[in-house]
Amino acid sequence: MDFSHKAIEKKWQKFWEENQTFKTTNKNDKKAYILDMFPYPSGAGLHVGHPRGYTATDIIARVRRMQGYDVLHPIGWDAFGLPAEQYALKTGNDPREFTSKNIQVFKKQLQTLGFSFDYNKEINTSDPNYYKITQWIFQKLYENGLAETREADVNWCEELGTVLANEEVLNQNGKMVSEVGGFEVIKKPMKQWVLKITKYADRLLAGLENLDWPNSVKELQKNWIGKSQGLEINFEVVESKKVINVFTTRADTIFGVTYLVLAPEHLEVLNLTTNDQKKSVEKYILETKSKTDIDRQDDSKPKTGVFTGSYAKNPVNGEKLPIYIADYVLKDYGSGAVMAVPAHDPRDWEFAQKYKLSIKFVQKSKTTDKPFVGETQIINSEFLNELTPKEALKKITKFLEDKKIANKKINYKLRDWLFSRQRFYGEPFPLLFLEDGSIALIPENELPVLLPKIDYIKPSGTGESPLANAKEWVNTTYQGQKARRETNTMPQWAGSCWYYLAYILTTSPNNFVDIKSEEAFSLFKKWLPVDLYIGGQEHAVLHLLYARFWHQVLFDLKIVPTPEPFQKLLNQGMILGENGEKMSKSKGNVINPDEIVDSHGADTLRIYEMFMGPIDAALPWSFKGLDGSRKWLDRVYRLITNKKITTKNNQNLDFIYNETVAKVTQMIEDLKYNTAISQMMVFVNAANKEDEIYKPYAEGFIKMLCVFAPHLGEELWEVLGNKGSIAYQQWPQSDADKMQKNNTTVAVQINGKLRATILVNVGTQKDQLLELAKNEGNIKNYLHGKQIIKEIVVVDKIVNLVIK
């Protein structure tokens, strides 16, 4: 190896830290907020996937500084979380100590990779100063009617005496069991906080329009919100005053309804159940409790259900319809009841087949041995016959509305956000339950509500969080009344909902400008929205949706000036193991970035990860590729240190240098880092053929190099006799005049085989090209004594002579 990466990298990391090179500036009229999804500081440390996204943002941050922008490029820690709590439960240690140790490790690892983060802006979601503001935002949500308590299901494990997070629950043959021990888990209703994100459903949809996000992510968000326009139709129950309200998007098929289905949890189920059906209905309801919604919606699973014994009447033709319960109908969607049209709905079809229910086709279909889903004419439907489904829908809607049997209804798949966790290690809720049943918010000047110190964290046994064990903390008084604290804590999502705002407000690590002050507002005005946000695809839905929701609420409260937080988004692709599989300890294909930094250097790792392929593609790791990247950096080092660097331009590199500047600048703008590196390689190859290099070209090249390989960039900048950091040097400009290419190489073939090349003026015409080609020494020999039977010429490219 030609240079000592260890010496160089250490030297420049020290320099940057001592000189506070990357401290956020506030002196330009242009700004760039370049953000990474902040890491959860797990015990495992950084993996090679992290540097891929972090290098991608680092490159832009560095380019923007050189282009005269104020740059905000921060990092922090998503530090509350389940693993720390699980560790504490297992070992009796404090999750805070464990987390802070992990943070030290992570930070050190990041520093060795040479990212240009402003560590003055470091934040930690579990720091009391930080969660004070998380609590304050929650209070705003509450005051504005966007937070309330409701009974909602949790995953309860009787054997372990605790509520489990979804990730702690496994699915075993359609039944929920605990990951630890394999014990039965059932859904149990508990009083919990929910945030009414559904009130923002339309705004969350509309806001997507103007964002520069991958279409795939927008689609995922749209589907998650799942706006659906339909009708709620009343079906009278036979011989009863009861009415069942169903939600349907296909009222045009109402003449094809042959039965109704209720979710087993539907409140009317037991009232509708006849005595002889009671036993089987109750048994089925119980069985449903241990099934997840995902499982219930899984179309590959056989459909099950039970007859209630009651019937309803079809409002359009009076037909008698048996009422069933079945778990494929979910209680929380629509009205929790459906009108089943087995001929045109595959799930209803399967159910009807199994329980021998009648099937009636109400759309033209060539076959009747399977459900028909399509756009054909309506049949068997009296006054709807011969209409298209669309026309029929219009007509039946009016008909049912006029008779006051139905209402138009918009439904969303999006559910209100269950915001309580039965956990110790999260933000405490900033409120008290008073003896008289009311809720009091903790006054703002008494925030934060601190997480108490507990000697030994253990389950409460009641389903409440381990905080319930801290009796002194839980039981308190408020204005002379007895009061009780909330023992649930907030989910990990809470801290990550506003961390990008926290960076803006940070004056030193975890110290913040008051979020509702004028100063805060003008800082938000300066920096928002985030100009580039890079992170994993796994956050495509929840994190991004929750953060957008909080942001829109804060926008309505005039805390932030922009309606959306993240203007441009990119998901970096995963780095797979050498065998092309996902890296995992059990497969033994995990690459440790520390080892690579040690053996090849951080610059090599950065260049390699950017050169692997498109930034959003999943790609396998390759040591060969890594070695190749290092060899190229060695080549660059030799080029600058061995070649004569002159102040006189012999013009040989005019074209290639200016072309490289133009292309690399544009490719970086398009986040096409792999091709930008290829172009730099082309320049290095050309420069290597020269005896001397014009100094401004050497310097311009190093400026481009330094955003990818910052340590070597700084070092070579110094080698060329410059003082101080390269980080704020002006980004190179390309000279369009010098990019006019005068000469071009034309291939000369004989009978399709390349036999020579000739250098000609661009645009040299056919006759002249032919003459030049025929007079080329090698070609002359080939032509000697032969007859030319065909001449093919493509100007600027090729001459092909066919001879005999």
Q: Which residues bind ligand ANZ (CB under 6 A)?
A: 228, 247-250, 253, 263, 329-330, 333-334, 336, 338-339, 341, 344-345, 411
Give the nearer residue to ligand ANZ in terms of CB position, either 204 or 414: 414
Chain centroid offset of residue 748 CA: 52
Strands (E), 413-488: 417-418, 431-434, 439-441, 475-478, 481-485
Give the nearer residue to ligand ANZ in terms of CB position, either 354 or 631: 354
Give the nearer residue to ligand ANZ in terms of CB position, either 217 or 338: 338
Q: Return the HEC string of 603-625.
A: HHHHHHHHHCCCCCCCEECCHHH
Give the nearer residue to ligand ANZ in terms of CB position, either 296 or 551: 296
Minimum CB distance to ligand ANZ, residue 228 (Å): 3
Minimum CB distance to ligand ANZ, residue 222 (Å): 13
Q: 642 is written with which tokens?
A: 């061995």
Residue 441, SS3 per DSSP: strand
Give the nearer residue to ligand ANZ in terms of CB position, either 341 or 773: 341
Minimum CB distance to ligand ANZ, residue 623 (Å): 48
Nearest-10 crossing angle of helices 82-91, 95-112: 130
Minimum CB distance to ligand ANZ, residue 219 (Å): 15
Q: 80 is written with which tokens?
A: 């509350």
Give the nearer residue to ligand ANZ in terms of CB position, either 333 or 433: 333
Measured CA to CA, the distance from residue 671 to residue 668 in angstroms comes to 5
Minimum CB distance to ligand ANZ, residue 796 (Å): 57
Contact 430, 135 (CB under 8 A): yes
Measured CA to CA, the distance from residue 728 to residue 726 in angstroms comes to 6
Contacts for 244-247: CB closer than 8 Å, 24+ residues apart: 244/268, 244/312, 244/323, 244/337, 245/335, 245/337, 246/334, 246/335, 246/337, 246/338, 246/339, 247/333, 247/334, 247/335, 247/337, 247/338, 247/409, 247/411
Give the nearer residue to ligand ANZ in terms of CB position, either 336 or 593: 336
Minimum CB distance to ligand ANZ, residue 548 (Å): 22
Give the nearer residue to ligand ANZ in terms of CB position, either 384 or 605: 384
Name the amino acid, one letter, at 651.
Q
**What residues have CB less than 8 Å from 168, skipping those under 6 apart?**
82, 155, 178, 179, 180
Closest CA to 180 of 195, 165, 194: 165
Give the nearer residue to ligand ANZ in terms of CB position, either 211 or 251: 251
Name the amino acid, one letter, at 301.
K
Give the nearer residue to ligand ANZ in terms of CB position, either 88 or 246: 246
Residue 657, SS3 per DSSP: helix
Minimum CB distance to ligand ANZ, residue 347 (Å): 8
Minimum CB distance to ligand ANZ, residue 170 (Å): 25
Q: 794 is written with which tokens?
A: 């493509």
Minimum CB distance to ligand ANZ, residue 238 (Å): 20
Minimum CB distance to ligand ANZ, residue 411 (Å): 6
Minimum CB distance to ligand ANZ, residue 53 (Å): 34
Using CA atoms, how far residue 7 sits from 11, 106, 450, 706, in Å, is 6, 22, 45, 17
Q: Are strands 481-485 and 431-434 parallel, antiparallel or unpaired?
A: antiparallel
Using CA atoms, how far residue 665 sits from 214, 532, 657, 678, in Å, is 22, 17, 12, 13
Give the nearer residue to ligand ANZ in terms of CB position, either 261 or 575: 261
